Amino acid sequence: MTAARSPGVAAPGSSEQESAPSHEQAQATDAFAWVATVDHKRIGIMYLLTALFFFAIGGVEALLIRLQLAQPNSHLLTPDTYDQIFTMHGTTMIFLVVMPTLVGFANYLVPLMIGARDMAFPRLNALSYWLFPFGGLLLHFSLLAGGAPSAGWFSYAPLSETPYSSTAGTDYWVLAILVLGIGSVGGAINIIATVVTLRAPGLTIRRLPLFVWMTFVTAILIILALPVLNAALVMLLVDRQLNAHFFQAYGGGSAMLWEHLFWTFGHPEGYIMALPAFGMISEIIPVFSRKPIFGYGFVAASTVAIAILSFGVWAHHMFAAGMGHRADLAFAISSMAIAIPTGVKIFNWIATMWGGALRLTTSMLFAIAFLLEFVIGGLSGITFAAAPIDWQVTDTYYLVAHFHYVLFGGTAFAIFAAIYYWFPKMSGRLLDERWGRAHFWLTVVGFNLTFFVQHFLGIMGMPRRVFTYPDLPGWGALNMVSTVGAFIMALSTLVFAANLLISWRKGAAAGDNPWDAWTLEWATTSPPHPHNFERVPPVRGRRPLWDLAHPSSSQPGKAEASLGDVTIERIPLDKSVVAVTAFIVSEASFFVILILAYVFFNVSTKVSAAALDVRATGAFTVCLLASSLTLHLGERSLHRGSQAAFRAWLIVTLTLGLVFLGGQAHEYSSLLQHGVSASSSLFASTFFTLTGFHGLHVALGLVALGILAGLAFAGGIRAGSARAVKAVGLYWHFVDVVWIVVFSIVYVRGIL
């Protein structure tokens, strides 16, 4: 208690003397400083600006689509160009706009909101960012390499297979999404490690700002869901590049498998794009209602329920794919159930506003509009949970209307609210409210004009993904309304961009805390200086700055109890261990999918293992398992302080790992000599993919062990890098455990 009230704690207003360095930082226009930065704030801003750039590209693509559809029987675009444009529009908006924008906000805000100096791994953070423009570049490079991808953002097989998509567009699509996926997983691991290990004293998990909590849950969804997509993508790539047939019926493959894998990722992806938006709304509405959030516990806990249920409902995207009535029924019920935790959140936000002193800033206007638009999108979503309605309107403009209400009316409105809310923190200047209101009303009018009428078009039967439509009664007029709406939205975006530019240069000075908000990011200067805080205010509740301003009413009894009760031993978790654990979880998710694909294709054919030399591989397996033991012994000797023994054990481990890889290379070459290649049968495709990726991970582990060996020989492992030894060790054991599973399933006959 005394510690909390000690004079060493600075009040948020005392930041005058810190404005000098922040000014300096704002003036640092040296481009190289931005390229080389590892500051989470600059990286966050770069994410947002790059996403804004891609938003412009995706928006122009949307306008082209709407121009083509403005009139019936239009031939402005050829069918093939139209396919390319809607594929690029979807892919760009999801992977290059919405996700990076949310990651950008997480990057900028999470360390500030938890009172940390930076992310847990600043350099990993920079890598994750740079993978994003690189992925975007790869995707767009396809335009120079024979044409953009044209199989839709979900690349349904077999349309995405070589016979039907023969240009390199789909290959670039696969590579770009892989690169972006790896970047997202890296970013998510960083967020998890940051939230778990770098919170300010007193900021327990249950006092976290809801934006941080929801971003944290989203990060967990990312490390589970993105690797599923990555696994499906590598299978598609093996199909396209090595002539395998995972997803082609003629070789025994299954196009349904692609749909399952894609939506195993795709449905959680919907929540990956929605939960951070919920978090933004949960920060903004309370501040502009002057009330704490209603039902913090429910909002936070239901987020976890949504996350877990999102893995149990994906098949509702496949009602029309012919799964059978039982599956349809199960997923209809579960999909309706997941609407409950989401729906109740709406009431939490309304109850927060109820009786509050509302301040209708542009940010708050967008937040309120979010509630309305998101409810429309949510309700049309529930109609899809009823399988018969889904059969009627799936793949029509009703669906297009639905997901735009969720993604634009929901997520994008929340992002606009967040930009108006946090821009002052990032720039030190307020966004102009008059321009803001113009932006808001143009967006609302344009958005609803564009997409509301599409509900009717869909019910009338207008199919999506078709480049034009016949001149049926009403269709032309409704489509024209939609196109006009789209251009109003384009105008609103220009207004928004103008507001950003003008306010960045000439906006009114914001001060530290322009909205009189309560979370820690407002306790420092705007923009914050490179190390964020001089001193982090004490945290004794969910609204630290409010507690600071009202010392008398902050329930001292309760706070005392909370501080006096810290008898439970806290185990300070090490950030490397947290990060490598999160990484292992994501890798496990990747391998689970490859293993399931192997089992799925080989369970009914008993020939699989006949071609394999079980005894030889068994011997190599023993080597790999022994290497886990030797590494463990090495760690123990390091613990005892014996560097020499550690070096010796490390060399033994490296050798055993190399022997295993050599064995695998030998096995591959003899198989290839006997004419067994990735394209010869489904067994061979699944075998090479699964064992090949395992081998790749062994190689990666060997590189990490090699680096440790280099460190050990260069000057010994010091206390700091001992944690790295532990982290690499965990990873190495994981790779071995995966091999035990792979070996049992692939080589031990009769286990399937």
Partner 1 sequence: MTTEELLLSAWQPGFVVPAACVIALGAYGVRFRSRISGRAAFFVLAVSLFFLALASPIGVLARGYLFSAHMLQHLLLMLAVPPLLLLGLPREKDTPPPPRDRVGSAASWLAGVGAMWIWHARTLCNAAAENSAVQSVQTVSLVVMGLAFWRPILSPRRSSRIEPLTAVAYLFTACIACTILGIIVTLSPVEVCSAYMHPADTLGALPLLREGWGMSCKADQELGGLMMWVPACFVYAAAILATLGRYYADEGVSIHAVGGAK
Residues that bind partner 1 (CB under 8 A): 196-207, 224, 260, 296-298, 300-302, 304-305, 308-309, 311-312, 324, 326-327, 330-331, 333-334, 337, 541-542, 555, 558-559, 561-562, 565-573, 578, 592, 596, 599-600, 603-604
Helix (H, G, I), strand (E, B) or coil at 2: coil
4 or 614: CB nearest partner 1: 4
Q: Check: CB of residue 423 under 8 Å from CB of residue 503.
A: yes
Q: Which of 330, 341, 451 is nearest to 398 (CA)?
A: 451
Rounded to the nearest whole angstrom, what is the least distance from the CB of residue 745 to partner 1 in the complex? 12
Q: Check: CB of residue 435 under 8 Å from CB of residue 498.
A: yes
Rounded to the nearest whole angstrom, what is the least distance from the CB of residue 605 to partner 1 in the complex? 10
28 or 308: CB nearest partner 1: 308
150 or 335: CB nearest partner 1: 335
Q: Could you give phi then psi for residue 57, rounded to 5 degrees? A: -65, -50
| Cβ density class 678-690: b for 16+ within 10 Å, e for less | bbbbbbbbbbbbb
Q: Which of 266, 264, 350, 346 is nearest to 312 (CA)?
A: 264
Give the Cα-Cα-Cα angle 350, 351, 352 (nearest 5 degrees): 90
Angle between helix 99-113 and helix 169-197 axes, rounded to 10 deg: 10
197 or 642: CB nearest partner 1: 197
117 or 140: CB nearest partner 1: 117
Give kind and range of the element (H or E) at residue 353. helix 325-353
Rounded to the nearest whole angstrom, what is the least distance from the CB of residue 308 to partner 1 in the complex? 5
202 or 409: CB nearest partner 1: 202
11 or 561: CB nearest partner 1: 561
Rounded to the nearest whole angstrom, what is the least distance from the CB of residue 48 to partner 1 in the complex? 29
Intra-chain end-to-end CA distance of the chain, in Å: 61
Cα(223)–Cα(617) distance, integer angstroms? 31
Rounded to the nearest whole angstrom, what is the least distance from the CB of residue 518 to partner 1 in the complex? 16
Quick one: the chain helix, strand, coil %, rounded to 5? 75, 0, 25
457 or 593: CB nearest partner 1: 593
How large is the C-alpha radius of gyration of the chain?
27
Rounded to the nearest whole angstrom, what is the least distance from the CB of residue 223 to partner 1 in the complex? 12
Cα(361)–Cα(143) distance, integer angstroms? 42
Which residue shows structure tokens 């958005």?
447
User: Where does residue 162 rank: exposed (0-12), middle (13-18), buried (19+ CB within 10 A)?
Assistant: middle
Sign of torsion over alpha carbons 101, 102, 103, 107 = positive
Q: Could you give phi then psi for residue 463, rounded to 5 degrees? A: -75, 145
Q: Which of 205, 378, 193, 192 is nearest to 300 (CA)?
A: 205
Q: Which of 369, 367, 358 is nearest to 417 (CA)?
A: 367
Helix (H, G, I), strand (E, B) or coil at 79: helix
574 or 613: CB nearest partner 1: 574
Helix (H, G, I), strand (E, B) or coil at 509: strand
CA atoms within 13 A on the CB side of 10: 15
387 or 712: CB nearest partner 1: 387
267 or 425: CB nearest partner 1: 267
Which residue shows structure tokens 């789909």?
170
Rounded to the nearest whole angstrom, what is the least distance from the CB of residue 246 to partner 1 in the complex? 15
Give kind and range of the element (H or E) at residue 482. helix 475-506
202 or 514: CB nearest partner 1: 202
309 or 387: CB nearest partner 1: 309
Q: Would you give the distance in Å from CA 731 to the centre of its chain?
A: 23
Give the Cα-Cα-Cα angle 662, 665, 668 (nearest 5 degrees): 150
Q: Give me the numbers of helices (H) and strands (E) for the chain, helices first please.
A: 24, 0
Q: Could you give phi then psi for residue 429, rounded to 5 degrees? A: -130, 150
Which residue shows structure tokens 């509702």?
316
**How large is the greatest C-alpha to C-alpha distance in the chain, in angstroms?**
84
Helix (H, G, I), strand (E, B) or coil at 440: helix
Rounded to the nearest whole angstrom, what is the least distance from the CB of residue 263 to partner 1 in the complex? 12
Rounded to the nearest whole angstrom, what is the least distance from the CB of residue 334 to partner 1 in the complex? 5
571 or 607: CB nearest partner 1: 571
For the record, the structure tokens of 254 come out as 């299954």
Rounded to the nearest whole angstrom, what is the least distance from the CB of residue 384 to partner 1 in the complex? 17
578 or 609: CB nearest partner 1: 578
Is the bond preceding residue 209 a cis peptide, omega within 30 degrees? no
194 or 499: CB nearest partner 1: 194
Residue count of the chain: 752
125 or 589: CB nearest partner 1: 589
Rounded to the nearest whole angstrom, what is the least distance from the CB of residue 333 to partner 1 in the complex? 7
Q: Check: CB of residue 538 under 8 Å from CB of residue 11.
A: no
Q: Check: CB of residue 212 under 8 Å from CB of residue 220.
A: no
